[in-house]
Structure 1
Amino acid sequence: MTRLQKLILSRLALGILTLFVVSALMFVGIELLPGDLAQQILGQSATPDTLRAFRAELGLDQPPHTRYLDWLSGVVQGDFGQSLASGRKVSDLLGTRLANTMFLAAYAAVIAVPVAVTLGLLAALWRNSIFDRAANIGALSAISMPEFFVAYLLIMLFSIKFGWFPTLARLDTATGLGDALYVTFLPALTLIMVVIAHMMRMTRAAIINVLASPYIEMARLKGVPRWRVVLKHALPNALAPIINVIALNLAYLIVGVVVVEVVFSYPGLGQLLVDAVASRDFPVVQAVGLFFAGTYILLNVAADILSILSNPRLRHGR
């Protein structure tokens, strides 16, 4: 078995264990929430007999560990169960919401990744210049502001003051691609401003670190143009940290959109998760949480593999 295969198997095994721990922690957290789901659904006028019968119908009369193990065995078989609040299959609830979240994440990633890498390369190429300092100030400003603050600033500027974009990002099955890009521009721009700063700074730091190497100095002494030194000699050897930070930010674009989706009332997994927590609908919370955790783990495994493939010394184990 090769080193790469061992890495993949070990990461996948660790990921499965992490998913199990995450699901258990989420279940315990939901159980500790105040309130009663049956009481919330039936209202305060429900009689004790009615509540007891309804809890039995939902399976809430069983011990917590029994309900958790039953749900976990269903997940292994591909069945996430039924929503306690609506009675619908969880997989049906996740379908459209998952597509909306992936669309928003892809929208932001297509813009953020090339722009961030380009800005990082230019900042490293023109180190300590006015452009470098301005880019760093902008990046630090974006990192320092939380997502909801950035979102409200964009709403105030582009929706309320200029009226260019809607304040709410509402989508349905009849929305075309052009309308979807227009409606989701502000939430996508919020995500772009947050993740682009991390990727740009890491790209700049990785390139500058490689530029201090002896072989880079030799290339400069030979008269190789600076842009050629950065693109052909420094960038390939700085790919590993750049790939890692891109993977982490792509994971954020998928699993960290909860606040952005709530601010813009975007019908994605983040909004679904908030609604499910409020109603103590633990099968939905468990399913969304497992998807977020699985996405984060898979992207980290992919980053590890790509980092090894981009570095011959790691690829050949020497």
Structure 2
Amino acid sequence: MAANEDIESRGAAKNRGGGNHHPPASSTPYYFETSERQWTSWIIPMFVVANVAVFIVTMFINNCPRKHDQTNGRCVVRFLGRFSFQPLRENPLLGPSSATLQKLGALAWYQVVHGGQGWRLITCIWLHAGVVHLLANMFSLVFIGIRLEQQFGFVRIGVIYLLSGFGGSVLSSLFIQNSISVGASGALFGLLGAMLSELITNWTIYANKAAALITLIVIIVINLAVGILPHVDNFAHIGGFLTGFLLGFILLVRPQFGWMERHNLPSAGRAPSKHKAYQYALWLVAVVLLVAGFVVGLVMLFRGVNGNDHCHWCHYLTCVPTSRWRCGS
């Protein structure tokens, strides 16, 4: 979501794609196997509750009526008392100040690298810049995450969500070093990436393969394209997507339909699973790339490397200047 320049000038949080997701639940292809086990979804609802709870605590600590400098305007929805929002010219997303977000764990390169606060790579995933940002991300999480959890269980989807959020934070820190960043959309893009790799590695058990692939790619491209708007942290999106894409090859592999049919087994059968050679190859490549990516990324980050020094065009991935807006520092 775009914020005005007044937020940017104060080092405001870069919104990690708050209202720009197009939940792909209805477009997810169907499996041939109708007897597939359906898990009960509880980790995704728990994540939603946790994000909402953190936002409420954030607004309680923010306490706009008491801590806000009135020179920037009056608090919004003042009848909420200490839960009222910062003035719209400071935060148009109906949320706290950037100072409060930074205090509670927003991603800030200097604090991570020079302040020994690596925990911000995780805490920023649970913070949101405002009500608009929070609602957009949580609706996307419900549409994307619940169906995935029903198919693959809470452990695998929980791991993909958390590691993708972490991967998004790492890539964001390498390229965005002069403002703070918050939001769960790196984790959400990880789930989208995992959906794509799951479709690829389990190709033989899908119906309408081409339509499913094209639909999913279009959804991903649209979401990533929106990230080139100013004040949107598209590096968190890209880092989360790549992490989830690799994790999908590792964690979401299924027995192939032809083998299950020959052995008269449902896809949730307890017999040893049978996979094709290309699935093993994709699993191995994904493991190597994921480990290497995290090691290289973290080493570069804590050495204080600026990714823009090694990729002079990469800044266009998060903001493309036009006649209607400029890309702030």
Structure with larger Rg? 1
User: So what's the TM-score if we normalise by structure 1?
Assistant: 0.28
The structure with the greater share of residues assigned to helix is: 1
Q: Which has the higher contact order (CA 8 A, sep 6+)?
A: 1
